[in-house]
């Protein structure tokens, strides 16, 4: 039986992470030498894109891990653990705290470097200390002068679909009046 056929059987022809039934293909868990069913999962295009590109992660999509992290299949457990580590939010920390992984599987999961240096992890927080995620919406809590232009972003302006600065946890980016600007986290409130 081909690997794909075996995966279809194992998953019931559904994405093993989110349950989607369309655009499915094999996904080999990266950074692991072992090959075979143990390190391959059946996943949809949306999940695969976001597993391959941390910048494209939509945290809400991964609420599905609430269910799939309990999978009996190692490849699914490994990717669930990695994705939970990539999304810095209260709910992902809660799920990680509940997740059970055998020692050898956890080792494999860590091979990608996810979950390392937990204490150095950048966590972006708004003025109230609420964790900000990629794609969140915020409002400005004061008028902000935009560097390098005469523009002032007004207090109360809503900024949708923010991006987090990977190097500095006090910076986020967002679009105001069609212009991409850097905003300091203490001047925003999550909505
Ligand atoms: Zn999926």
Mean per-residue pLDDT pooled into runs of 10, the chain (191 residues): 91 97 95 82 97 94 97 96 92 93 92 75 89 92 88 94 89 92 95 94
Burial class (CB in 10 A: 0-12, 13-18, 19+), 156: exposed
How far apart are the CA of 47 and the centre of ligand 1, in A?
4
Instruction: Write down the pLDDT at residue 95.
Output: 96
How far apart are the CA of 94 and the centre of ligand 1, in A?
21
**Residue 63 phi, psi (nearest 5):** -60, -20
Instruction: Write down the pLDDT at residue 177.
Output: 87
Instruction: Write down the pLDDT at residue 137.
Output: 96
How far apart are the CA of 5 and the centre of ligand 1, in A?
18
CB contact burial 106-128 (16+ within 10 A = b; e otherwise): eebbbebebbeeeeeeeebebee
How far apart are the CA of 90 and the centre of ligand 1, in A?
22
Please enumerate in sequence order all residues whose Cβ is within 8 A of that of 117, keeping only pairs 6 or more positions apart, or say none.
none
Cα of 166 vs its chain's centroid, Å: 13
End-to-end CA, the chain:
50
pTM attached to this predicted model: 0.65
């Amino acid at each position: 039986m081909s690997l794909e056929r075996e995966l279809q059987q194992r998953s019931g022809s559904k994405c093993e992470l989110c349950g989607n039934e369309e655009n499915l293909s094999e996904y080999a868990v990266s950074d692991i030498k072992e090959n075979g069913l143990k390190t391959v999962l059946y996943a949809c295009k949306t999940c695969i894109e976001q597993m391959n590109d941390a910048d494209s992660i939509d945290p809400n999509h991964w609420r599905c891990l609430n269910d799939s992290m309990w999978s009996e299949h190692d490849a699914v457990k490994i990717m669930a653990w990695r994705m939970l580590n990539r999304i810095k939010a209260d709910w992902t920390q809660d799920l990680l705290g509940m997740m059970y992984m055998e020692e050898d599987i956890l080792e494999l999961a860590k091979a990608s470097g996810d979950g390392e240096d937990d204490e150095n992890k950048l966590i972006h927080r708004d003025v109230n200390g609420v964790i900000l995620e990629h794609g969140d919406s915020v409002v400005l809590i004061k008028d902000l002068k935009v560097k390098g232009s005469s523009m002032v972003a007004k207090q109360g302006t809503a900024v949708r679909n923010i991006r987090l600065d990977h190097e500095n946890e006090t910076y986020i980016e967002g679009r105001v009046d069609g212009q991409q600007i850097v905003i300091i986290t203490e001047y925003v409130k999550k909505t």
